[in-house]
Structure 1
Amino acid sequence: MSKKNTLRDQIEEAILSGKFSPGERLEEKVLAEQYGVSRTPVREALRQLHETGLVEVRERRGTVVRENSPTELVNMFEMMAGLEFLAVRLATRHMTEDDRARIQAAHEACRTARDIGTDAYYYENEAFHQALYRASGNPFLEQQATALHRRLQPYRRLQLRSINRVSQSFEEHEAIVAALFAGDAEGAGNAVWNHVAIQADNFRVLFPNG
């Protein structure tokens, strides 16, 4: 993992933990001093966080922590479930041998990461889902799914820290891969829908009045 990604993760963690509050201004100079780096990696980290929707740029204020409502997060996870549902169904028809090998390799990497820790699994999980999008054979779907996946990355990491969620996630991956490799479009679609939609359900439980 590169230094810029490490810095991004540190700032992301500070936002999700509440150390940086919604609406709080994030100044490059202050962050550079706080994390002991130059302003260049801070600028890149903030750019990446802007892509995920954790921060936004406001006129006359600069970069500030964005407030994402629970309802907005639920809506995005439901949309993500729909995109992945379509991706794996298409993959059962269009998947190449290279796609199959890429998915299998990503799945095995998740198996190894599962026993290392949440952050290790988080990065391999991202690669696994990217492999599914690519296997759809639809570049536009891959592009849209990738963009939304990036928006939801911080919240996926947050949920992976729930008790037993990493193990549960890997078991869900196993069901997706088994159905996909068997050419079972309905089974693969249902498996990936349940895998992603459960995250929307979790946010509904956490914020019932959101």
Structure 2
Amino acid sequence: MTTHSATLREEIEEMIAVGELKPGQHLDETELAARFGVSRTPVRETLIQLASMGLVVIRPRRGAIVAELGPQQLVEMFEVMSELEATCGRLAARRMTREEQQSLLAAHQACLDARDAQEPDVYYYKNELFHEAIYAGSHNQFLIEQTRNLYRRLRPYRRLQLRVRDRLHNSYHEHDGVVQAIVSGDGELAAHLLREHVMIQGQRFSDLMASLPQLRQGAA
């Protein structure tokens, strides 16, 4: 993927996640190219990438639209995500090498630094590395691929979650328990904590949904 396309993907992901680009909305390649000051080629690359993530639907001869992902679908996808990550954590607690544990601890420290700086977007990228360290520690390539695929599809929503009040602090605190469980080899506890960490339900889901109008204004 080109640099232009990688940057555009993040920009358009964010626009979809905050509702600036609404479900079912047509995505005009020429308009997007003009908006971002690029040619249509990186825009087309980006839309293809977003389609592979399930965020965009490309229809033959009719162009691309934003995928219609309702609240119920989000809940269902996070439910599956929580089980995949729980399995990664359970296996990582049994299989991680000492070097991999050190990588996990380093990622955890980087999350702490971002939390203390109150930088939710920086925290998000460090958070990605944290979760990726757990996936790698599972030593199950098929599981890693499936988990990454769903992570990419939920990426905009996981990033927005971190902007909800107190979520940075709570996320780091939850990470801390996961790290301790994995390093001590307690697979069942690691699985339980990761399941609770990822699953978005009840108050957490309500907080995220309630924040969307404010986030939409911020993206305007």
- Asked if these proteins are the same fold (TM beyond 0.5), I'd say yes
The aligned counterpart of 1:38 is 39
Match of residue 153, structure 1, among 152, 155, 160: 155
Question: What is the count of residue pairs matched by the alignment?
Answer: 205
The alignment partner of 1:60 has SS state of coil
Aligned counterparts of 1:129 and 1:144: Cα–Cα separation in 2: 14
The aligned counterpart of 2:125 is 123
The alignment partner of 1:64 has SS state of strand
The answer for unaligned runs of 5 or more in structure 1 is: none
- CA deviation map 1:70-129 (0-9, x unaligned): 111111111111111111111111111222122112112211222251111111111111
Q: Does 1:51 pair with 2:52? A: yes
Q: Does 1:170 pair with 2:149? A: no
The aligned counterpart of 2:77 is 76
The alignment partner of 1:56 has SS state of strand
The alignment partner of 1:68 has SS state of coil
Asked if the contact 2:164/2:207 (under 8 Å) is kept, the reply is no
Aligned counterparts of 2:118 and 2:45: Cα–Cα separation in 1: 28
Asked if the contact 2:161/2:208 (under 8 Å) is kept, the reply is no
Asked if the contact 2:30/2:40 (under 8 Å) is kept, the reply is yes
- CA deviation map 1:10-47 (0-9, x unaligned): 22222223222221211222101011122232223223
Evaluate the alpha carbon distance shift between residue 117 and residue 204 of structure 1 in structure 2; reply closer, same or farther with a 3 A threshold: closer
Once the two structures are TM-superposed, the CA of residue 178 in structure 1 deviates from its matched residue by 0.9
Asked if the contact 2:164/2:208 (under 8 Å) is kept, the reply is no
Once the two structures are TM-superposed, the CA of residue 176 in structure 1 deviates from its matched residue by 0.3
Asked if the contact 2:160/2:208 (under 8 Å) is kept, the reply is no
> TM-score when scaled to structure 1?
0.89
The share of aligned pairs that are identical, in percent, is 48
Q: Does 1:203 pair with 2:202? A: no
The answer for unaligned runs of 5 or more in structure 2 is: 210-220
Larger mean Cα displacement after TM superposition, 114-123 or 148-157: 114-123
Larger mean Cα displacement after TM superposition, 149-158 or 13-22: 13-22
